[in-house]
Amino acid sequence: MTKAKHSRRTFLAMGAGLAGLGLGLSARAQTRAPDADVLVSRGGAIEVDLEARFGPTPLAGQSARLFSYGGRVPGPRIEVRPGDEVTLRFSNALPEPTNLHFHGLHVPPTGNADNVFLEVPAGEELTYRFKIPESHPAGTFWYHPHLHGLVAKQVFLGMVGLFVVRGELDQVPEVAAAREVFAVLKDFQIAGGRVPPPGPMELARGREGSLVTVNGEVEPEWSVEGGGLLRLRLLNASTARFYRLKLEGHPLYLIATDGGALEEPYELDELLLAPGERAEVLVRADREPGHYTLWNLPYDRGRGGMMGGGFGDARPRALAHLVYSCRRRTPLPLPERTGRVRELGALVRRRRFVLGHSMQPGRGMVFTINGQVFNPRRIDTRVRLGTVEEWEIANLGVLDHPFHLHTNPFQIVARDGRPERLRAWKDTVLVPAGGTVLLRVGFADYPGNAVYHCHILEHEDLGMMGIVRFETSGGASGT
Ligand SMILES: [Cu+2]
């Protein structure tokens, strides 16, 4: 483990001077955009001081005792470019261990990079260091804790932040001309100024809170010029809640998914985002000037059975509002092309993963992949770097499970045997109860162990995770 250069005492002393900014940031190292919640790389590098905290935190016009990065929910947005060196001095002021995962980034899963097997004990520090590859796509990524057994709790209490890679998509003229808005969708459960502990059934189902926030606010308003474009960059940072989004009076033009740009805009009437998923949509402000609501429509992520049914909201819930008044003389057009999504090479092998759940004596409900709960000492799947595989993910349970693979993005080939029309980079895909998804993934660059798991984080903590080893040579075996 590489330790930060500064002792904890020094770090706190520096942080105290900036307490008014709400971020535990050192003045020396910080490169700051005009918005204090955004940290932008300069000259090929970024240095970030990030502190995990527990205490009173502003949320939706009130204060609640939450876990956070730097006292804000969500944490600061980190923005980098391909080729940048990232140095993140992480300090854990929580009363329990934690760590960091950089969700969706193609960086090493080992060392002090995106290594979910690291543990930062309470009161300790760790410096994360990695380089964003020159070939890394632009996209909306994020960071959150990933210490098995504590992930759902720590994320539910507020530990989430955006990690944005700027690049080619940002330079598409029509995209660059749009007004950019980030939307971190996250629910909370607050009672008496704190988050009550969840019950066992709440954990098994995946915890949903009644306070639904967008960037830590309730029903924010976004203004856009009439005739202009809105570029809405969405993240589902909830542990279990799904968002089925519909914008009143406007279609959504999908231009990017988890792993970056599509080839061209794809018109949607509504957009379903499972936990962990991201999407970028363009909205044309071409209706009558007015006030339009972004709705979260009912969606049931259970299919009967003991645990199934009754999830989310029974009625549409307003999430945010789009407001436009004055009108441009010439409306902004949509882009014709937004990127290139290369085809993956020839298939080397195919595997099957079955998602399920069962009761275990003394443990209660557990969630499984191929009948097994997570074991940190077991390599479940060995793949060879430089190869392409197809993974069939079958959900035999009664709850939907969003399947997430670390380190290497994938493309969806088919859902329930039906070929997928849209070619897009994903790292998290919804596998509905009773459904099957076929995905294709190329393993590139980084040897070592990483994980795949359900992104209903309660399910991950209850066992629905496996270890994949990326190997440079030797026979691929296992699952
Ligand atoms: Cu799940």
pLDDT tens sequence across 428-462: 999 999 999 999 999 999 999 999 999 999 999 99
Distance (angstroms) between ligand 1 centre and the Cα of 227 equals: 41
**Separation of CA 175 and ligand 1 centre (Å):** 34
- Is residue 9's pLDDT more than 60? no
pLDDT at residue 308, rounded to an integer: 65
pLDDT at 312 over 90: no
| Distance in Å, CA 457 to ligand 1 centroid | 7
For position 217, what pLDDT does the model report?
Answer: 97
Q: What confidence score (pLDDT) does residue 303 get? A: 80
* CA of 402 relative to ligand 1 center, distance in Å: 6
Average pLDDT, the chain: 91
What is the Å distance from ligand 1's center to 273 Cα? Answer: 14
CA of 202 to the centre of ligand 1 (A): 13
Name the residues around ion ligand 1, CB cutoff 5 A: 401, 454, 456, 459
**Dist. CA 368 → ligand 1 center (Å):** 9
The answer on pLDDT for 1 being more than 60 is no
Give 400 Cα–ligand 1 centroid separation in angstroms.
6
Is the pLDDT confidence value at 15 over 80?
no
CA 301–ligand 1 middle distance (angstroms): 10
User: What is the distance in A from the centroid of ligand 1 to the CA of 5?
Assistant: 39
Sorted by sequence, the CB contacts under 8 Å of residue 208 that are 6+ apart come out as 187, 238, 240, 241, 311, 312
How far is ligand 1, taken at its centre, from the CA of residue 254, in Å? 25
pLDDT band at 23 (very low <50, low <70, confident <90, very high): very low
Decide if domain 349-471 falls under CATH 3.30.450.40.
Answer: no
Q: Identify the pLDDT of residue 188.
A: 98
Q: Give this prediction's pTM.
A: 0.91
| pLDDT top residue among 36 and 452 | 452
Q: For residue 426, is pLDDT > 70?
A: yes
Could you give the residue range(s) of every CATH 2.60.40.420 domain in the chain?
8-165, 173-324, 349-471
Cα(432) to centroid of ligand 1, in Å? 10
Q: Rounded to the nearest whole angstrom, what is the distance from the C-alpha of residue 365 to the centroid of ligand 1?
A: 12
Quote the CA–CA distance of 270 and 253 in Å, as a whole number: 10
From the CA of 455, how far away is ligand 1's center (Å)? 6
Instruction: Please give the structure tokens belonging to residue 373.
Output: 């709960």
The answer to whether the CB of 260 falls within 8 A of the CB of 339 is: yes
CA distance 384 to 349: 10
Q: 330 alpha carbon to ligand 1 midpoint, in Å?
A: 47
* Nearest in space to 446 (alpha carbons), one of 127, 88, 102: 102
Chain centroid to CA 284: 26
Q: Please tell me the distance between residue 265's alpha carbon and the centre of ligand 1 in angstroms.
A: 30
CA of 300 to the centre of ligand 1 (A): 14
Between 478 and 6, residue with greater pLDDT: 478
The matching CATH number, chosen from 2.40.10.230, 3.40.50.20, 3.40.50.300, 2.60.40.420, for 8-165 is 2.60.40.420
**Domain 173-324 is classified in which CATH homologous superfamily?**
Cupredoxins -  blue copper proteins (2.60.40.420)
Q: What is the DSSP letter of 191?
A: B
Candidates 460, 474, 469; CA nearest to 381 is 469
- Residues, the chain: 479
Of 233, 273, 283, 228, residue with least CA distance to 256: 233
How sure is the predictor about 473, in pLDDT bands with cuts at 50, 70 and 90? confident
Question: Would you state the pLDDT for residue 422?
Answer: 94
